[in-house]
Structure 1
Amino acid sequence: MTIDVEKTLAKLSITQKIKLLSGLGWWHTEPVEEYGIPSMRMSDGPNGVRGTRFFNGVPSSCFPSSTGLGASFDVDLAYKVGVALGEECRAKGCHILLGPTVNTQRSPLGGRSFESFAEDPTLNGLIAAAYINGVQSKGVSATIKHFVANDQEFERFSISSDVSERALREIYLKPFQLALKHSNPWALMSSYNRVNGVHVSESSWLLDDILRKEWGFKGLIMSDWIGVYSTAESIKAGVDLEMPGPTVMRGKAVERSLAAQKLFVSDIDDRSRKVLELLQKAYASGIPFDAPEEGVDTPELRKLLREAAADSIVLLKNDNNLLPLTSESKVKSIAVIGPNAKYAFSSGGGSARLLESYTVTPLQGIEAGAKELGLDVKFTLGATTHKLNPLLDPSITLPDGSEKGALLEFWNKSPINGFATAKSQLSENDNLAPCDWSCTTKVSNCVLLDGVDESKVEKDCFLRYSTVFTPEESGTYEFSLILAGTGNLFFDGKLIIDLSTAPIPGDYFMGLGTAEVKAQVPDLKAGQGYRLEVRASNHAYVRQTPIIPNWGGLRIGAIRAVEPEDALKDAIQLAESSDVAILVVGLNHDWESEGYDRPDLELPGLTNRLVTGVLKANPKTIVINQSGSSVVFPWIDEATTVLQAFYGGNELGNGIADVLFGKVNPSAKLSLTFPKRLEDVPSYPSYGNKGQEHGRILYNEGVFVGYRGYQVKNLAPMFPFGFGLSYSTFELSALNCSDVSPEGSFTVSFTIKNTGKVDGREVAQVYISDDEASLPRPERELKAFKKVALKAGESQIVEVNLDREALGFFDERRGEWVAEKGTFSVLIGVSSEDIKLKGNVEMKNKLAWRGL
């Protein structure tokens, strides 16, 4: 089946056309069934396909965070990841994937920095293009987002990114422009924020003049979720689809704007036509409408997940050649230490998170790799660094003991007097009224935005969460509870946390939940089951009128209580008694998340004391940091062996193990600069809540973002953009640069040789410097890169084609791109600071242009 866009448009009434301009619930477009227009389905990305549910959805494959995929510098890998995401979309009946994110990482403090590929627009845009081409090869629409300058979470709905047009064009619009040039995304998402005082969803200059007219974008423009703040203005500007539904700014409001002639039928036709054009592609894909959702789990997919995890890991230091650990390393015992070792932090937080089909923790991966070599592995925590207590998920069983998980029951009326009040204890038989609906779940973080039968359960309801908690180790445990509403946590029938009497407000559940409250229970026995029960009402939560109606939620955590000094002492003793220590530290999805920015670049808790102590106890210590963006390492000079792992998806643990034990020779390069201190970041201090000026953020650094800013100030970072080591060594030679054509095209060629003893891959980075610029330009800018696989001793000639984009800057006076007459340096490096070859090209005549 297909659809003729113009014929269908001609048949629709104005009311039906208006209906097409807003969503149906969270994840669908509105249907017009009498004319054969079904609902298209969409799903969050960018590093997985969640499907249509936040709660109790179909498990999904989680690929490495975008900063990790960007660090691969591998467009072929990005394409394969896109293909796999497209295939999972098809399995879930999804026509539109809400990714990739290509917002330039202006500051590593950004809560969603991990969602974008790089601080550099060229790397960001080219990896995005490959990802998009992969997704759309399966007939699924990619949605490039968030257009544009959506670089912080603080006041994200209202903040104005005040930026010069030159910086906007060269840094923030550029990754979108490059992605459009090298792919053809079928959809684009406008951002929440304002740019120079105007909300992007109302900016005809950005959405119509630049995106559609100048760049020739033909696809659909949708809003970010609740990112439309006007009716006529957003439609005139070019936002085709308001998401999610039900509509707030369209519907009847459009009819009134038509009556007032603020809008005309032609405006509605322009917007609804784009919805129908995307529907035409959905029909062509063969993906059914309203299909059941299924997961994907094949050996081929697991292999790709593992490959992506390993290829996103950056080797930062290997001073004493401690890595790789092989049968020749004379290692018999390994101490695995650290708060990130035993948990699988596959992704950052917020809309990027999903229910993984499976996970492999770093500890599990290391144990499996060590077993192959006959090595003894022991683990100790060392320090706790969680922001919220770790979830119960691995340790809970249904009350009847039949399987892992918990029972969740709902009542529209209180099932017994005092149900959600602070009773001192529970009776075995409370004579509760029969529930109106129930389900089981395998999680202890229940965000009830969906997944509840709304035909049976009202939004204002009571709920009970029942499970059996079985600790892995004996000892005192600290439990915690957060609620969207009021209620209590009972342990073996006794009240341990009271959130019904006077709950303290917190920032969970869109800022409408309680603060996390904790309580300790002593003397739990390993392997013994204990009843946990939450009784709650979401009445107080519903009364606050959340922006998007839902059933509230709960979050229960637990961790064995440890004395910080004892944990540090245990870690140091284990490190001393082991041949090698592997220290896994970093951040997690509670520290890096949509909804808030980080206050600093520090590792949390006692992490730095732990690292310093273990390094002193055992010089043969491998430090693995896991974070989605930059952190600072005050102990870096003492450490000889350091890896940056990012958030590695399902196969995080195996990816780490493959690099540690030499199955994979690391080849990733940093996709963002790691500074020595926060004050060195180019956007400091004009960033976040401390940098805003009455609702405005001034982009004072202009085009000097990321590594460009460090170079112009002659500031040495801790690790520069593009840096990464290998177990092999490489030599670059024989640079040759062709003449520049009148159109600005030229070719660069050079030779790479693997001078080491093992096969490996090197990323050659092509930077351009304008030697005779008429205005301040960065010292050098990445304009191309090539990842080359070479066997030991092998050489290869690499050829890179560049065009006018590599030479130009944006001239605000004329509103056009300019490549000036003169000499340009061509710099071939293995990082932004390590330049191996230098040549020149000459632009004989000035060139100016607009568009792609």
Structure 2
Amino acid sequence: MAPWTRLALVPLIAQVVVASPMPDANHEASQLNTRAAEGYDSPPYYPTPDGGWVSDWAEAYEKAQQVVGNMTLAEKVNLTTGTGFFMGPCVGQTGSAPRFGIPNICLQDSPLGIRNSDHNTAFPAGITVGATFNKNLMYARGRALGQESRGKGINVQLGPAVGPLGRKPRGGRGWEGFGADPTLQAFGGAYTIKGMQSAGVIATIKHFIGYEQEMYRMSSIITKGYSSNIDDRTLHELYLWPFAEGVRAGVGSLMTSYNDINSSAASQNSKLLNGILKDELGFQGFVMTDWLGHYSGVGSALAGLDMAMPGDGAVPLFGDSYWGSELSRSILNGSVPVGRLNDMVTRIVATWYKMGQDKDYPLPNFSTNTLDETGPLYPGALFSPSGVVNQYVNVQGNHNITARAVAREAITLLKNEDDLLPLRRNDSLKIFGTDAGGNSDGLNSCSDQGCDKGVLTMGWGSGTARLPYLITPQEAIANITKNAEFHITDSFPSDVSANSNDIAVVFINADSGENYITVEGNPGDRTEAGLYAWHSGDDLVKAAAEKFSSVVVVYHTVGPVIMEEWIDLESVKAVLVAHLPGQEAGNSLTDILFGDYSPSGHMPYTIPKSESDYPESVSIINQPFGQIQDTFTEGLYVDYRHFMKANITPRYPFGHGLSYTTFNISSPTINEVTALNTAYPPAAPSKGATPVYDDAIPAASEVAWSSTSFTRIWRYLYPYLDNPESITTSGEYAYPDGYSTTPKPQARAGGGQGGNPALFDIVYSIKVQVTNTGSRRGKAVAQLYVELPSSLGLDTPELQLRQFEKTKELAPGQSELLTLTVTRKDLSVWDVVIQDWKAPINGEGVKLWIGNSVADLPIVCTVDGGCSSV
């Protein structure tokens, strides 16, 4: 049946996931291509594992069990289903269970700040955070995000994003994540989650999974979203890696992606949700759909979905839903087991308790629908009561300090010939480019930042926030020097004079965003702009380079860009990538530009010389008719992994970043912490007990309209039914092959949050001394890459980032001892036959490389030979 089939009908349940196990490396390579034409299939995985067996969650689940065990069917359904599009103050909200003190649960974007709100901070985007390589700032930004969400009464903040991974350089939303590497994404996501949830807000890791392109992402009544076809090993070693770390960090909720994975919609994929997420990774929170990414009723319930957002069916604002009253019907007619509903609700309520939201947690005091003080309470209704919808609560605190620090530490110095930077305050400067200024139409004049006007602070779409203010580069530079002449235009002025002492500073950018907004012909993905600067920015640089002998280029960008037209020009002396800095764009830049701080950012992705340097499979697929099969034929070879395998020298490698000072990494030592004396990790402890309920079908009267006494809001989604007593259980449902209500044995690779706890045992600890050998203060990053031995019998990338640490600010001559740890999982590959992580026994043949980027690794450590300089 079509994915919009209503829940009371016999369901279509698509369950496709990872490809079949592959016995060896040669077979792996050939199968990767042959399956691309055939399409990817995989077995079903039923039933959904119950939550509550992890000790860290035991208290929360005990509290939830006491509540859920006394709920009516209507109360349970209420908490699993959104109330509908525009049916409340937040971008999404569930129904409530007021008898138990549980309000409508408010869910709100975005990963970089509170979307469509007021008096909030617009933080730097995820890609900017990744470029800091600073775990402390990752946590600090996450905590500030959580504090602001709590202050606004938001229960669930929809971030962080670790999918897309950045597989497609033109992809529209790569900037919401932390970089094109699973380890960088994993640390960025995990520390953000810990920070957010320390404030009591429920974090949401998203989008699960394989969501790498904007165009054709969604299914509807007339189209089918693309299918990301991913083999088992690639899924585990790349795309699942940051999600596993987010689960290990205790994330409370997870959002599925819009697209299919191996021809099955993410929100109803039983193997991914039941088998991998809730069994293998031990996820204890609740799974929600992306907005209008709910495509079936019974099928999604049985496949492991716990919450439908925003609740609407195939067409929003029609007042119907795949769940809501239809979920009530499916419980009464027996097509969805009561036990599955109990687990859905228990996961939601337990997460609410886990974050302490039962204790003085504020209700929403803002409206995502309007900035007016008063207005309709349910804007999606034809007739709605009105009231106060915005209280204008200021939640910014001193978070501008954190925002500025993140933006500053992300700025990446790519080139600095003749030590042109830092600038002196008395230098004669000529500033060019609209990217140095503000939006000529006014601050926040473009909905969800859906335009490219002025300095680029973030991409566009639901992953944005309104700017409470904006310090532009023009304003910040003018505050520092009177010797700057501004030309806020993207056309080089013909009347500009230049003498030998003048320095031109040229601002250019490259934008992208989410698919529901098209900006300058780009439907989210950079289809028109490609990997080049917007607004003829490359021409602006070349024109400045022709006239001035010293040019500094400042690039604000969502992702990889091509610089070949001007990077080697003699007068282009310095290049700074300032990423997406948020509200403190100007201040953070001048902190670096004028030398108050040394740059310490590192590239979170590779910068190529040509788009043809990438594998063909990572280009944007444009196929307007029929379902797109987007097969990940490049496998593990994304970003720097690909460049190294193909022996292509990029313009700037992953991890690259210069400073105004110099550093030396020395005195490396390696120590074994946990013996790696088995190829596979020891068996994990058995799961703990989970809540037990009476799973009998409840009385139909629990969802009868006649038992209620309130005024109905048209289009609002309720759990109630007319004449529910007429519903009977026939037991004749065409469940899919493999459907079962008998719990499966614990996954071999499972046993804890994130997987088998033994996977995260520290195997080796490496210490290095980092010394500032230059003449200025600065911070350095030590990056650790793993080289796995060929004895594992698999085609494996030459180097893979597995750890990094950043120093404090070091004065000239000052040193700091950094410790970099490596876990069993860091040294493992995914065995598709055994379905477990396999490591080289005793670390034999493993090399651990440490340095400044993937292309600059002066230290190597081995188990037998110790550490040495190369």
Q: TM-score, normalised by structure 2?
A: 0.71
Equivalent residue, structure 1, for 2:253:
187
Aligned pairs for 1:627-638 within 5 A: 627-633=557-563, 634-638=565-569
Equivalent residue, structure 2, for 1:203:
269
Aligned pairs for 1:268-347 within 5 A: 268-280=341-353, 281=355, 283-284=357-358, 286-291=360-365, 293-296=391-394, 300-327=398-425, 331=427, 333-342=428-437, 343-347=454-458
Equivalent residue, structure 2, for 1:97:
157
Shift, 1:246, TM fit: 4.5
Cα contact 1:140–1:285 (8 A) shared by 2: no
Shift, 1:250, TM fit: 0.5
Q: 2:145 aligns with which of 48, 67, 85?
A: 85
**Pair 1:76 & 2:141 matched:** no
**Pair 1:133 & 2:215 matched:** no
Shift, 1:257, TM fit: 3.0
Map Cα deviations across residues 671-719 of structure 1 (whole Å, 9 max, x no partner).
0111111111235455432699942101011011111000000001111
Q: 1:842 to 1:209 in 2, by over 3 A?
A: farther
Q: 1:716 to 1:793 in 2, by over 3 A?
A: same
Equivalent residue, structure 1, for 2:240:
173
Shift, 1:345, TM fit: 2.5
**Pair 1:839 & 2:861 matched:** yes
**Pair 1:45 & 2:110 matched:** yes
SS of 2:658's partner is coil
Cα contact 1:107–1:681 (8 A) shared by 2: no
SS of 2:413's partner is strand
Map Cα deviations across residues 705-750 of structure 1 (whole Å, 9 max, x no partner).
1110000000011111100000010111222222473347111122
Matched to 1:779, the amino acid is E
Q: 1:353 aligns with which of 430, 451, 464?
A: 464
Equivalent residue, structure 1, for 2:775:
757
Q: 1:742 aligns with which of 672, 675, 691?
A: 675
**Pair 1:826 & 2:826 matched:** no
**Pair 1:6 & 2:24 matched:** no
Distance 1:47 1:699 in 2: 29
Matched to 1:582, the amino acid is V
**Pair 1:143 & 2:250 matched:** no
Q: 2:554 aligns with which of 609, 618, 624?
A: 624
Shift, 1:221, TM fit: 1.1
Equivalent residue, structure 2, for 1:262:
335
Distance 2:512 2:497 in 1: 28
Distance 2:457 2:864 in 1: 47
Distance 1:285 1:307 in 2: 32
Distance 2:781 2:300 in 1: 43
SS of 1:640's partner is strand
Equivalent residue, structure 2, for 1:108:
169
Q: 1:604 aligns with which of 531, 534, 542?
A: 534
**Pair 1:363 & 2:474 matched:** yes
Identity %: 31
Aligned pairs for 1:312-461 within 5 A: 312-327=410-425, 331=427, 333-342=428-437, 343-370=454-481, 375-383=482-490
Distance 2:591 2:776 in 1: 15
Q: 2:784 aligns with which of 766, 770, 785?
A: 766
SS of 1:619's partner is coil
Distance 2:455 2:471 in 1: 6
Distance 2:625 2:645 in 1: 24
Map Cα deviations across residues 158-189 of structure 1 (whole Å, 9 max, x no partner).
111001110010000001112222x1111111
Equivalent residue, structure 2, for 1:513:
none
Cα contact 1:827–1:836 (8 A) shared by 2: yes
Where does the alignment leave 5 or more consecutive residues of structure 1 unmatched?
Answer: 384-566, 844-852
Map Cα deviations across residues 432-485 of structure 1 (whole Å, 9 max, x no partner).
xxxxxxxxxxxxxxxxxxxxxxxxxxxxxxxxxxxxxxxxxxxxxxxxxxxxxx
Distance 1:257 1:590 in 2: 38
**Pair 1:60 & 2:120 matched:** yes
SS of 1:745's partner is strand
Distance 2:513 2:253 in 1: 30
Distance 1:152 1:618 in 2: 40
Q: 1:715 to 1:771 in 2, by over 3 A?
A: same
Aligned pairs for 1:556-595 within 5 A: 567-570=491-494, 573-575=496-498, 579-588=502-511
Aligned pair count reads: 645
**Pair 1:218 & 2:284 matched:** yes
Matched to 1:767, the amino acid is Y
Distance 2:195 2:824 in 1: 26
**Pair 1:117 & 2:184 matched:** no
Equivalent residue, structure 2, for 1:795:
815
Map Cα deviations across residues 610-643 of structure 1 (whole Å, 9 max, x no partner).
1111012112111001111111112111122000
Map Cα deviations across residues 292-321 of structure 1 (whole Å, 9 max, x no partner).
554446673222221122111111110110
Matched to 1:679, the amino acid is S
Q: 1:306 to 1:156 in 2, by over 3 A?
A: same
Report the structure, 1 or 2, having the larger strand content. Answer: 1
SS of 2:493's partner is helix
Q: 1:778 aligns with which of 774, 792, 797?
A: 797
Distance 2:340 2:139 in 1: 36
Equivalent residue, structure 2, for 1:252:
325
Map Cα deviations across residues 345-371 of structure 1 (whole Å, 9 max, x no partner).
22110002222111111111111122x
Cα contact 1:762–1:788 (8 A) shared by 2: yes
Q: 1:235 aligns with which of 292, 296, 301?
A: 301
Cα contact 2:770–2:817 (8 A) shared by 1: yes
Map Cα deviations across residues 546-600 of structure 1 (whole Å, 9 max, x no partner).
xxxxxxxxxxxxxxxxxxxxx4233x72555872111111124679987621122
Q: TM-score, normalised by structure 1?
A: 0.73
Cα contact 1:46–1:100 (8 A) shared by 2: yes
Equivalent residue, structure 2, for 1:520:
none
Shift, 1:664, TM fit: 1.6
Distance 2:179 2:562 in 1: 18
Q: 1:692 to 1:297 in 2, by over 3 A?
A: same
Shift, 1:129, TM fit: 0.9
Q: 1:757 to 1:194 in 2, by over 3 A?
A: same
Equivalent residue, structure 2, for 1:552:
none
SS of 2:419's partner is coil
Q: 1:229 to 1:298 in 2, by over 3 A?
A: closer
Aligned pairs for 1:516-535 within 5 A: none
Cα contact 2:508–2:534 (8 A) shared by 1: no
Distance 2:395 2:497 in 1: 38
Distance 1:590 1:169 in 2: 27
Distance 1:221 1:376 in 2: 55
Cα contact 2:414–2:658 (8 A) shared by 1: yes
Cα contact 2:230–2:632 (8 A) shared by 1: yes
Q: 1:706 aligns with which of 624, 639, 660?
A: 639
Cα contact 2:783–2:852 (8 A) shared by 1: yes
Equivalent residue, structure 2, for 1:501:
none
Distance 2:324 2:639 in 1: 43
Matched to 1:93, the amino acid is G
Shift, 1:37, TM fit: 2.6
SS of 1:568's partner is coil
Shift, 1:152, TM fit: 0.9
**Pair 1:16 & 2:75 matched:** yes
Distance 1:344 1:382 in 2: 12
Distance 1:242 1:592 in 2: 21
Where does the alignment leave 5 or more consecutive residues of structure 2 unmatched?
Answer: 1-59, 219-224, 314-320, 367-390, 438-453, 518-522, 677-761, 866-870
Cα contact 2:414–2:656 (8 A) shared by 1: yes
Distance 1:591 1:250 in 2: 27
Cα contact 1:91–1:294 (8 A) shared by 2: no
